[in-house]
Structure 1
């Protein structure tokens, strides 16, 4: 039955907290791709360029979403609205609405939209930090120990800066996953990383595979995409993926949740 299927593959994993399965992973991936394209169309029609100002505008709101997600992990807040992917569907709507509102304010009062977004995002995110106390500083040091060499290599490589940033964000995510699994007995919830790790027998394989995939995707975009604006947008979205999962995993690690 359709309802039984939906409950088994989409609701039950959230209720029981045992992670993702191939069905909901594919569905969420298709949803992400669709929303990514629709968001680009929306931004283009709204006259919002996907540049540094756009990143500055949305970054604190993405962090706000991550902090709310961690508060749910900690049990401080609860509900289907605050779990993945629901919370990010909410934030896609929220950020789009804020972009529209800030552009209207910009038009009327000549205040740059990205400043409105950035300041308001910081105002909402800042107070949530009061809920967090570091419980596992060792985990943070392990992440830095494994991540810094990658960053040094990236610094030395001759490659576009935006590609280095996107790659660094995904190395941050993969390294945090590796440290969490290797040293602190966390469980990988996502299907693909879990499969890679099970096949190879080591969490470090996820770092290597992710690095190869991200570098390949970025090189393909640079080589074959003729639309520079769309290419920049895709790079931002790819970077956001690494940042969101990496920061959440790091916070869970240092907070031991």
Structure 2
């Protein structure tokens, strides 16, 4: 009897010890997992922003997923308000894209304090969120005139920061260099598209896409090739290191024209097609103008 009591007590004690050990191990694993997640976030998202070391593949994929999700939700909201994604919609879109680029450049020159919300991707979330809110609000209030009201709101903010920018100009000639490259390649594309009857450029939005991406490629080329800047994004950086800085423009142009060809041929819904195109435009125009503004200010 005594033996059974001792055995029972030992068994209960052993069970309690095992449970305690398991809980302790779970806590250790949980703490280590949380720490690993924190280290991962810091290494791939926070540290590059703090040190200005450029973007990495993990960031590119993450922001791509966030962008796709945001576009989907925004598109659904636009359809409920019967707002078509067309040339009118593009007007405030361009204004707010320029605003993002100019504000980001003014962060680089020190006029705007550097923080998560004033650098990429924070500034895109901030101004992009404000753009979405502006479009949806003006769509409810002004109906079919929404694009005019949205553009005016964006222009008010843009004009203020443009005034600040004009006070920091040091390399005005950079605008001329970029403008010449954009003009040459844009009219070359238009000429070849018409002469060869490729029918790739089918609308003004297609023109906006080509011009937006050409501004990015040209500003990058001039910034690196003439003024000694460096490319933050890993894929363009690899291409320029491999094939040379000036090969970047025709390479990027080829990719964009291929994307437009596929969209125009395969996507029938005009709203879906145009929101994708405008997104492609913004992904070129925003960093391109930021690079150009930085170069002009000598930052």
Q: CA RMSD in A?
A: 1.7
Structure 1: where are the runs of 5+ without partners?
none
1:215 aligned to 2:257? yes
Within 5 A, what are the aligned runs for 1:94-133? 94-106=130-142, 112-132=145-165, 133=168
1:39 aligned to 2:81? no
Within 5 A, what are the aligned runs for 1:136-215? 136-156=171-191, 157-158=193-194, 159-161=201-203, 162-200=205-243, 202-215=244-257
Structure 2: where are the runs of 5+ without partners?
1-35, 195-200
Verify the 8 A CA contact 2:97 2:285 in the aligned structure 1: no
Verify the 8 A CA contact 1:103 1:113 in the aligned structure 2: yes
Secondary structure of the residue aligned to 1:226 is coil
Structure 1 residues 243 and 225: alpha-carbon distance in aligned structure 2, compared to 1, 3 A threshold: same
Structure 1 stretch displaced more, 21-30 or 6-15? 21-30
Structure 1 stretch displaced more, 136-145 or 73-82? 136-145
CA displacement at 1:178 relative to structure 2: 0.6
Q: 1:36 & 1:104 partners in 2: Cα distance?
A: 19
Q: 1:104 & 1:244 partners in 2: Cα distance?
A: 27
Structure 1 residues 59 and 147: alpha-carbon distance in aligned structure 2, compared to 1, 3 A threshold: closer
Aligned position for 2:26: none
Larger radius of gyration: 2
Verify the 8 A CA contact 1:25 1:191 in the aligned structure 2: no
- The number of residue pairs the alignment matches comes to 253
TM-score (norm 2): 0.80
Aligned position for 1:29: 64
Structure 1 stretch displaced more, 95-104 or 4-13? 95-104
CA displacement at 1:185 relative to structure 2: 0.6
CA displacement at 1:47 relative to structure 2: 1.7
For residues 112-145 of structure 1, what are the alpha-carbon distances to aligned partners after superposition, in whole Å with 9 as ceiling and x for unaligned?
Answer: 2112111121112111112123211232222233
TM-score (norm 1): 0.92
